[in-house]
Amino acid sequence: MLHHATIFRTTSIALLTTTLLLAGCNPSADQTQASAAMAAPEVNVITLKAQELTLHTQLPGRTSAYRVAEVRPQVGGIVIKRLFREGSDVKAGQTLYQIDPATYEASLASAKATWERAKASESIARIKAERYRSLIKTRGVSQQDYDDAEASWKQTIADVASAKAAVDTAKINLDYTKVRAPISGRIGKSAVTEGALVTAQQTTALTTIQQLNPLYVDVSQSSGELLKLKKALAEGQLEKAGPQEAKVKLLLDDGSYYSENGKLQFSDVTVDEGTGSVTVRAIFANKEQQLLPGMFVRAELGEANLKEALLVPQLAVSHDPKGNATVLIVNDQGQVEQKSFETVRSINNNWLVKDGLKAGDRVLVNGTQKVQAGMKVTAKVVDVASLSGADQTAKQ
């Protein structure tokens, strides 16, 4: 009996040991699923889709007045009236200041008297010359007397012309006592008040007038960028508004678009000798005078219309040591691949793809730090618009 009991205990221990070994070699279903989850982490992806896209080029610039006129007096005197309201609109020819005209009125009266006296002298000399002309035929006067009479008459004719010019000058000077607007536009503040003494052609302007309709927008670019824009215009990639002119929109400082379209004039170009940059002028209608000189704006040019454009969020893009743009994609087998691609430009928070990616590619946008190329992953498709703003800001 003892022998049989020993055999039973030995058999039981062996069976128990075998069971434990088998249990250790065969994990449970939960353990299998946990291991699988660790082997295939979940990542968020977006699917690239071809879309129609119109490209735009934005050029920074500032507004400037179409014409600027500094108003200066052309005669000296005391200002007795200012005939405009500062900041108002004035018309060309409108009287802005009145200079005391008394001395100029007296000068005109004196010039007119001299003119009348010269005309009277001319009349007497003419009559005498005509009488001598008839007498010389009968030898009634000497040739010398006749010649003297003719010369005296011609001299009085010159005196009349000189006196007439003096009258005209006096009239002009009297008219200049009314300081008029040389152009139409918005007038600025006055540098003088009533009672101020002004002089002809003084260096200090009395006021300034700016024509605000139309208005210029001066855009600064490098010479290389200017050549690209000219080439794009010649090849029809820019919407034309006329010969050597591209249609342009205006983006205001608050982010809104100006209501009127303008013309970018490639023919009106100036070069800064210090920096080598060029200034191109755009012209905009400004009937409501919403635009004022000195405002910072952006001129926007419409370029090519792409039928099948691909955009990749910047938050999904990295760069390799050579500077090439790369993304991680999930292939049809659920494996992570790294792909390099070429970009055209940045558009908002996206890169416009030139080559290297195609529609249907699933690009990782979250979870890239926990995966690497070759790994198996579980891809969850998300909408790029649902990604957090913090993630986008961090990658920019």
Q: Which of 2-16, 43-57, 62-76, 86-100 has the lowest mean pLDDT?
A: 2-16
The pLDDT of residue 299 is above 80: yes
Which pLDDT score, from 0 to 100, does residue 393 have?
Answer: 34
Q: Which position has the higher pLDDT, 320 or 37?
A: 320
Q: Which position has the higher pLDDT, 77 or 34?
A: 77
Q: Which position has the higher pLDDT, 34 or 174?
A: 174
- pLDDT tier for residue 21 given thresholds of 50, 70 and 90: very low
pLDDT digits (tens, 9 = 90+) for 341-354: 998 778 888 888 98
3-state class of 281 per DSSP?
strand
Q: Which of 157, 176, 195 is the last residue of a domain?
A: 176
Average pLDDT, the chain: 83
Question: Do 323 and 375 share a structural domain?
Answer: yes
The pLDDT of residue 309 is above 50: yes
Question: Do 225 and 188 share a structural domain?
Answer: no
Give domain status of residue 260, yes or no: yes
Give domain status of residue 2, yes or no: no
**CA dist 186 to 69, 71, 285, 296, Å?**
10, 13, 15, 20
Q: Which of 284, 306, 328 is the last residue of a domain?
A: 306
- In this prediction the pTM is 0.64
pLDDT digits (tens, 9 = 90+) for 192-210: 999 999 999 899 999 999 9
- pLDDT tier for residue 284 given thresholds of 50, 70 and 90: very high
- The stretch 298-323 carries a mean pLDDT of 84
- CATH number for the domain spanning 188: value is 2.40.50.100
Question: Do 261 and 193 share a structural domain?
Answer: no
The pLDDT of residue 176 is above 90: yes
Q: Which helix (H) or strand (E) holds 176?
A: helix 143-176
**Sign of the alpha-carbon dihedral angle for 193, 198, 201, 203:** negative
The pLDDT of residue 19 is above 50: no
Question: Do 337 and 265 share a structural domain?
Answer: no
- Most confident by average pLDDT, 9-18, 199-208, 231-240, 321-330: 199-208
Question: Do 293 and 212 share a structural domain?
Answer: yes
Question: Do 140 and 113 share a structural domain?
Answer: yes
Strands (E), 285-360: 296-309, 311-313, 318-319, 325-330, 336-347, 350-355
Give domain status of residue 134, yes or no: yes
- CATH number for the domain spanning 251: value is 2.40.30.170
**Phi and psi (nearest 5°) for 314?**
-65, -30
Give domain status of residue 50, yes or no: no
Q: Which of 33-42, 69-78, 98-107, 380-389 has the lowest mean pLDDT?
A: 33-42
Task: Determine how many CB atoms are found less than 10 A away from the CB of residue 344.
Answer: 14
- The stretch 304-327 carries a mean pLDDT of 86
Give domain status of residue 19, yes or no: no
Which pLDDT score, from 0 to 100, does residue 30 have?
Answer: 52
Which pLDDT score, from 0 to 100, does residue 108 have?
Answer: 97
Question: Do 288 and 168 share a structural domain?
Answer: no
Angle between helices 143-176 and 102-135 (to 10 degrees): 160
- CATH number for the domain spanning 387: value is 2.40.420.20
Question: Do 220 and 302 share a structural domain?
Answer: yes
Which pLDDT score, from 0 to 100, does residue 155 have?
Answer: 96
Question: Do 87 and 133 share a structural domain?
Answer: no
Which pLDDT score, from 0 to 100, does residue 232 have?
Answer: 73
3-state class of 45 per DSSP?
strand
Question: Do 302 and 318 share a structural domain?
Answer: no
Q: Which domain holds residue 319?
A: 310-395
Give domain status of residue 4, yes or no: no
- The stretch 219-223 carries a mean pLDDT of 79
Give domain status of residue 23, yes or no: no
The pLDDT of residue 177 is above 80: yes
Q: Which residue has the tokens 């006055």?
A: 190
Largest interatomic CA distance in the chain: 196
Task: Report the domain count for the chain.
Answer: 4
Question: Do 320 and 368 share a structural domain?
Answer: yes
Residues 132 and 249: their CA atoms lie apart, in Å, by 81
Residues 281 and 266: their CA atoms lie apart, in Å, by 7
Question: Do 217 and 139 share a structural domain?
Answer: no
The pLDDT of residue 14 is above 50: no
- The stretch 85-99 carries a mean pLDDT of 96
Give domain status of residue 32, yes or no: no
- The stretch 42-51 carries a mean pLDDT of 88
- The stretch 297-312 carries a mean pLDDT of 82
What length is written for the chain? Answer: 396
Q: Which of 306, 332, 367 is the last residue of a domain?
A: 306
- CATH number for the domain spanning 120: value is 1.10.287.470
